[in-house]
Amino acid sequence: MGVKIRVGSWNVYNDAWHSLREAAEGISPARFKSASRLRFLGERFKCTRFDVMCLQEVSPAMISHLQKHCAYNDLTLVAPPQSALTPNSNNCCVLFE
């Protein structure tokens, strides 16, 4: 029997789009701000016990916040180098302990 690996996936851009839409409809989602979104991601990572978290469509600013958050929380983040990041590209990242 093989080893099981639990993988989670989160499309950050899609989440932001829904947050903007909700805000336009009068709902003010707390997780839209980067700090709140990092807490949300951290909570999901801890409570669901993922071994690996794959993030898609991460903005350059969010990657910068993730790098600081991961360094503080002893997590590893694999992200494209800053020189390769663009607001319009997919900017995928992988997060693990």
State pLDDT tens for residues 41-92. Answer: 777 767 777 889 898 888 777 888 888 888 888 889 998 877 666 666 678 8
- What six digits make up the tokens of 67? 């790098």
| pLDDT for the residue numbered 27 | 45
| pLDDT for the residue numbered 31 | 44
Q: How far is CA 12 from CA 3, 85, 87, 93, in A?
A: 28, 15, 13, 11
In this predicted structure, the answer to whether residue 2 has a pLDDT above a threshold of 90 is no
CA-derived radius of gyration, the chain? 14
Q: Which residue has the higher pLDDT, 91 or 94?
A: 94
Give the Cα separation of 14 and 20 in Å (integer): 10
Give the Cα separation of 13 and 55 in Å (integer): 10
| pLDDT for the residue numbered 88 | 61
**Structural domain boundaries of the chain?**
7-96
Give the count of alpha carbons within 13 A of 46, CB side only: 9
- What six digits make up the tokens of 95? 């997060």
Q: What is the pTM of this model?
A: 0.66
Q: Which residue has the higher pLDDT, 43 or 4?
A: 4
